[in-house]
Amino acid sequence: MEGTALMTDAAAENTGLGQRLNEALPVSPEAFVSAMRVQATAVNVVTSDGPAGRVGVTVSAMSSVSAEPPLILACVNRRSPCVATIRRNGVFCINALSVEQSHLADTFAGRPSNGVPFDFEAAGWTSLETGAPVLVDAVANLDCTIHEIVEAGSHTIFIGLVLAAQHRNVKPLIYCDRSYGAPGPLGE
């Protein structure tokens, strides 16, 4: 592994590629956002509760990281007050929304078509291990303690160690090109 990395570095240096990549400019935020907008993602509400208070925020930037140990990550914009709250509580739960729960995606993005932004009364909640709000009837709930926090650009990456996980056989909500949808077999 180490040898491969060394060879790759040496090859890049020989061709001047390493030098050129170091000097390269990133694409514009507009080009980046356009390329990401067409990606289909699941939609989650990341919740937290504890001494710093209860919060929830809609997040599509979520990924599994590792199975052993079970690690998962969520990226939250540092502008969101949720970042400080999750950090101070030390726990969070990733709640993957079902197709029946698209209204919650908008509620926890602060733009509900009906009702109050970020209103926990909009859904039923329970708890598992950490005390973070666990959304009833979600596709999946992954209840975590914070394993690591990484700052990356505009976002804070919360990597969670999963203490409890549960799921249901209901259709997950999908977000693509600024619209909500449901997955279905090809050809339908």
Ligand X SMILES: Cc1cc2nc3c(=O)[nH]c(=O)nc-3n(C[C@H](O)[C@H](O)[C@H](O)COP(=O)(O)O)c2cc1C
Give the β-pairing of 125-126 and 44-48.
unpaired
Q: Is 82 in a helix, a strand, or coil?
A: helix
70 φ/ψ sector (left φ>0, alpha ψ -120 to 50, else beta): beta
The Cα–Cα gap between 168 and 75 comes to 24
The yes or no reply on residue 84 touching ligand X (CB under 6 A) is: no
Closest CA to 107 of 95, 99, 115: 115
Contact pick of 81, 115, 153, 183 for ligand X (by CB under 6 A): 81
Rule CB under 6 A: say whether 38 interacts with ligand X: no
Which of 105, 139 has the CB closer to ligand X? Answer: 105
Report the residue from 42, 57, 138, 174 that binds ligand X according to the rule CB under 6 A.
Answer: 57
Q: Is 115 in the site for ligand X (CB under 6 A)?
A: no
Q: Does 138 bind ligand X (CB under 6 A)?
A: no
Residue with smallest beta-carbon separation from ligand X: 61
Name the 3-class secondary structure at 5: helix
Which tokens belong to 85? 């709250």
77 is an interface residue for ligand X by CB under 6 A: yes
Number of residues that bind ligand X (CB under 6 A): 17
Is residue 175 within 8 A of residue 60, CB to CB? The reply is: yes
The single residue among 91, 98, 174, 175 that binds ligand X, judged by CB under 6 A, is 175
Q: Which residues bind ligand X (CB under 6 A)?
A: 43, 57-61, 75-77, 79-81, 105, 108-110, 175
